[in-house]
Copies of this chain bind each other. A is one copy, B any other.
Amino acid sequence: MPLSSHADSILGAVRVYPDKTPIYHQGDTAMRIFRVNSGVVMTFRLLEDSRRQITGFCTEGEFFGLSPDGEYKDGAVTVTSAGVQSISIAALESDPVLSAKLLAHSWRKVEDTQSLMMTLTKTSSEARVAAFLVMLAERRGRRDGHEDSAPIQVGLPMSRLDIADYLGLSRETVSRRLTDLQELGLIDLPDIHTACITQFDGLRRRAGLMAAA
C-alpha cells in the first residue's frame, strides 16, 4: 500500500463517496472511526417522530463516528461528494499517536458542541444564521488565508432544511433571516448555494456570543 505520511498510513486508503450518500446509520454497531479528507459530511440524530438535529458539518481533517459504547448514536451522510478515511476501533488502541490526536480532537469537539449549544439557547434566529455563516467563513479562513474587510465567499452545499435542523429553526425562518441579512447589506446571495459576506465584522457583531473574561 502506498504511504505518504504516518497518519495517512494508519488511517488507510481514501474512499470517495458521491453526495447524499449515507456512510453509517444511527444505531449501527460502531466498528470504525472516520476522518474527512475532502468535501463535507454531516452527522445527525433522528427521533422517532422524524425530528432531526444535525450535530455537525464536518470538513477536511475532522473526525466523526466516535462512539462511546460500540453503537453509533448519530448517522452520517455526505453533503457533497467527499473523500473519507477510516480506521477500526480495535486498531486504534495500538496507536498511541493517533489516540492522542483523537483525544485533543474530542476535547475540541466538546468545546464546539457547547458553543453551538450556547448559540442555540441564547441567541435570536438572526444571530444564529449570522453565526452559521461566520463559522463557515472562519473554517474556510483556516485553510486559505483571509484578508479582513475583503468579501468572503462561502459555499452552502446543504439545503435550507439542513441549516434549519442544525440551528434549531424552521426552514422558513432560515430563509427569512438570510434575506434579512442580505437587505441589511451584510451578505449577498448570488445563488442558492453561495453566500458572499460583504461585511464580516458587522455579521460577526450580529452573531453576538463574545465570551466574557
Contacts and interface: CB of A to CB of B under 8 A. Distances in A.
B210 A47 contact: yes
A12 interface: no
Nearest to A93: B100
Interface string A99-119: 110111011111101111110
A209 B121 contact: no
Q: Count chain B CB atoms within 10 A of each CB in A66, A109, A110, A211 and give the residue with the most.
A: A110
Number of copies: 2
A26 interface: yes
A212 interface: yes
Interface of A is mostly: mixed
Contact of A211 (B46, B103, B120, B168): B46
Interface residues of A, number: 47
Contact of A213 (B26, B55, B69): B26
A74 interface: yes
A51 interface: yes
A160 interface: no
Given A68-B107, A73-B114, A108-B68, A121 B53 contact: yes
Nearest to A119: B53
B116 A50 contact: no
B208 A122 contact: no
